[in-house]
Amino acid sequence: MALDALALTGLAYTAYVYATRRSRRHPYPPGPKGLPIIGNILDMPKEREWEVYHQMCKELDTDILHLCVAGTHIVVLDTYEVASDLLEKRSTIYSGRPRLPMVVELMGWDYNFGFMDYGDRWRAHRRLMHNSFHPTAALKFRPHELEASRVLVKRIYEEPDDLLESLRIFSGEIIMSSTYGLSISSKSSKYINLSREAIDPVVPALVPGTYLVDVIPALKYVPDWFPGAKFKRIARENRKMAMKVREVPFADTKSEIATGVARLSFCRTSLEMARTLEAEQMLEREELIKNVAGTLYGAGADSTMATVGTCILALLNHPEVLRKAHEELDRVLKQGALPDFEDMENLPYITAIVKESMRWRDTAPLGLPHVSQVDDVYKGYRIPKGSIVIPNAWAMLHDEDIYADPLSFKPERFLKRVETKDGIRYELDKSVRDPSFAIWGFGRRICPGRYMAASAIWMAVASLLAAFDFTQFEDGSPDLNHPYMPGGLRVPKPFKCKIRPRSPEIERSIQSIDADLGIL
CA dihedral 165, 169, 172, 174 (to 10 degrees): -130
pLDDT in tens, 180-233: 988 766 556 788 888 888 888 888 888 777 888 988 889 999 998 888 889 999
- 375 and 266 fall within a common domain: no
- 390 and 412 fall within a common domain: no
Long-range contacts of 336-339 (CB under 8 A, 24+ apart): 336/503, 336/505, 336/506, 336/508, 336/509, 337/466, 337/509, 338/149, 338/150, 338/153, 338/463, 338/466, 338/467, 338/506, 338/509, 339/459, 339/462, 339/463, 339/466
- 297 and 358 fall within a common domain: yes
Pairing status of strand 72-77 against strand 388-391: parallel
Phi, psi of 96, deg, nearest 5:
-75, 170
> Is 447 annotated as belonging to a binding site?
yes
- 384 and 512 fall within a common domain: no
Task: Give residue 15's pLDDT.
Answer: 45
- 281 and 355 fall within a common domain: yes
Residues paired with residue 492 on neighbouring β-strands, in sequence order:
484
Residue pair 439/289 in contact by the 8 Å Cβ criterion? no
Residue pair 108/243 in contact by the 8 Å Cβ criterion? yes
Burial class (CB in 10 A: 0-12, 13-18, 19+), 217: middle
- 250 and 342 fall within a common domain: yes
Q: What is the DSSP letter of 520?
A: -
Task: Give residue 417's pLDDT.
Answer: 86
- 238 and 336 fall within a common domain: yes
Residues of the chain with pLDDT under 70: 1-24, 184-188, 515-520
CA atoms within 13 A on the CB side of 324: 17
Among 345, 379, 397, give the residue marking a domain's end.
397
- 352 and 325 fall within a common domain: yes
- 203 and 284 fall within a common domain: yes
- 27 and 131 fall within a common domain: no
Segments forming the whole domain that contains residue 201 = 93-367+398-517
Among 397, 416, 450, give the residue marking a domain's end.
397
Question: Any idea what the CATH number is for the domain that residue 185 is in?
Answer: 1.10.630.10
CA triple 340-128-433, angle to 5 deg: 50
> The whole model's pTM is what?
0.90
Total domains in the chain come to: 2
- 239 and 314 fall within a common domain: yes
- 38 and 147 fall within a common domain: no
Q: SS3 of 496, please?
A: coil
